[in-house]
Amino acid sequence: MSDEQQAEAAEAEADAAEDVEEEVAEEETEGGIQDGDFVRLAYTVRTVEDDTVVDTTDEEVAEEAEIDTDEYDFEPRVIIVGAGHIFESVDDALVGAEVGDTDTVEIPAAEAFGEFDDDEVRTVSANKIDEDDRYPGAQVQVDGDQGRVETIIGGRARVNFNHPLAGEDLEYEYEILELVDDREEQAEGLLGMYLQQVPEVWIQTDEEEEEQVVESDDDDDEGEPETETVTTEKETLYIEATQQMTMNQQWMFSKQQIAQDLMDRLDLDRVIVQETIDGMGGMMGGMGGMMGGMGGGGGADAEDIEAAMEDVDVDADELVEELEEGDLDVEADADEE
């Protein structure tokens, strides 16, 4: 066998061995969690250097770390493995794992919030900072960049535009609580991740009538296309929007992308967002009618108004007197014209 043939044989043997290793790796992870799976995670993230809690789903941990627990819901999160919802190292650790597994993954600063960049600590004019924020530690926005004031001397401010956790290695401790297969729960999880709140959702199949073009055997392409009405099924995700949700900046600026992500990942045809506005028990209607009578020509006289105001906590006699004086003024103006 020539040297060239021996080299080719060795290369083929190496390729075969590599294929076997890949098959073994696939078999080892086949029964575990895979990319694209929805999982519910409980986790706590701390800095490696001083053990400061950065993020957690545990309310007791948050309270111990003196994190404001009134502003956020502390409960396990639903994430999609491999979708970039968590740090890449954690994503890698989840693949092949099982429900109930726990682990702690160290995240290097470069993968977390980046290395500290000295060039991002800049001196700017103090005039670019609101007077109320001209003190060390204030969070400010200068020329569209978020930063933290370090010092202010005279008319100059030293501002650090690095992320507050830049340069920090992190420790990500987690437990896999369950695989989430229910699509409504999956939708809640995605919305919770995007909006930090979970609105009411439900999925149902709707029947809709649509006009579709009918293919014609006629060679005359200049005529009007023929259509027919057909009934189609639409797999629809309904979201009951709250006032808090409609005012959420992430939703206001990215609702199209969020809806598209929901449709792609949950195999939906459409997303419908609906908002319910409750009435006020007819009080506004009654007030509106009363105000209309007071302002319209030929409306209620002073006695009618006084009777209508009997149950209102105001001095009716004073109100009637003011209205009568107003009527006299209007009539005087009309006479002058």
Q: Give, for all 337 residues of the chain, the pLDDT tens digit.
A: 566 666 677 777 777 777 766 665 554 445 799 999 999 999 999 999 999 999 999 999 999 988 887 767 788 999 999 998 999 999 999 999 999 999 999 999 999 999 999 999 999 999 999 999 999 999 999 998 999 999 999 899 999 999 999 999 999 999 999 999 999 999 999 998 888 888 999 999 998 888 888 876 665 556 677 888 888 899 999 999 988 888 888 899 999 999 999 999 999 999 999 988 776 655 544 444 333 444 444 445 555 545 554 554 555 555 556 555 554 444 434 444 4
- Cα 134–Cα 139–Cα 143 angle in degrees, nearest 5: 85
The DSSP code for 72 is S
Give the pLDDT of residue 3. Answer: 65
Closest by CA position to 128, among listed 162, 164, 156: 156
What pLDDT score was predicted for residue 209? 84
97: helix, strand or coil: coil
- Please tell me the distance from the alpha carbon of residue 273 to that of residue 251, in angstroms, as a whole number: 12
- The per-residue pLDDT for 291 is 39
**CB within 8 Å of 234: residues ≥ 6 apart:** 205, 206, 207, 208, 269, 270
Q: What is the pTM of this model?
A: 0.65
Residue entry with tokens 């992870």: 29
**What residue has token string 């502003």?**
71
The Cα–Cα gap between 222 and 215 comes to: 14
**What span, in angstroms and rounded, lies between the C-alpha atoms of 94 and 108?**
18
Round to whole Å and give the CA distance between 229 and 192.
Answer: 39
Query: Residue-wise over 79-107: b if at least 16 C-beta within 10 A, else e?
Result: bbbbbebbbebbbebbebbeeeeeeebeb
Closest CA to 108 of 128, 87, 94: 87
| SS3 (DSSP) at 283 | helix
Q: What's the confidence (pLDDT) of residue 290? A: 36
- Which pLDDT score, from 0 to 100, does residue 88 have? 94
Return the exposure string of 244-279: e unless at least 16 CB atoms fall within 10 Å of the residue's CB, then b: ebeebeebeeebeebbebbbebbebeebebeeeeee
What is the separation, in whole angstroms, between the first and last Cα of the chain?
A: 120
- Return the pLDDT at 225: 79
Cβ neighbours of residue 74 under 8 Å, at least 6 residues apart? 56, 57, 58, 59, 62
Q: How far apart are CA 107 and CA 103, in angstroms?
A: 13
330 Cβ contact partners less than 8 Å away, ≥ 6 residues apart = none
